[in-house]
Amino acid sequence: MSALGVEEQRVNVIAEFLESSSPLGAGYRIEAGIVVWEEDNVLTVPTSALFQHTNAWQVFMINDDTVELRTLTLGQRGQEYAQVLEGLSEGDRIVLYPSDLIEEGVTVSY
């Protein structure tokens, strides 16, 4: 866990250039993205809408202009999106960046 409470996993990577026109000096670094999971046709939710309450992942869903608390079952999670296995359907509207001023039953306008 980071200092901000974010779950992280860091690993050391040893890389070797297959072709190099000249050697690199000190101070160079490599930034890489590693795909650890990929699948087509996956229902996702922005992680900015998720929060944990009573050891479960939840979102505030908007149903007929009223906020409703939904518990989700998540699959894979990335930095920006999480896979939804249960709890939401395609097209459901959710609240992004929910604050402590939002609670179930509140009327919303947009």
Read off the tokens for 77: 């999670």
47 φ, ψ to 5°?
A: -65, -20
110 falls within a domain: no
Position 105 in a domain = no
Average pLDDT taken over every residue of the chain: 88
- Residue identified by tokens 């490599």 is 30
Q: Determine the pLDDT at residue 24.
A: 73
Q: Which pTM does this prediction carry?
A: 0.68
Tokens of 40: 């087509």
Whole-number percent of the chain with pLDDT over 90? 52
Is 15 part of a structural domain of the chain?
no
Q: What is the DSSP letter of 48?
A: G
Domain that holds residue 65: 44-94
Q: In total, how many domains does the chain have?
A: 1
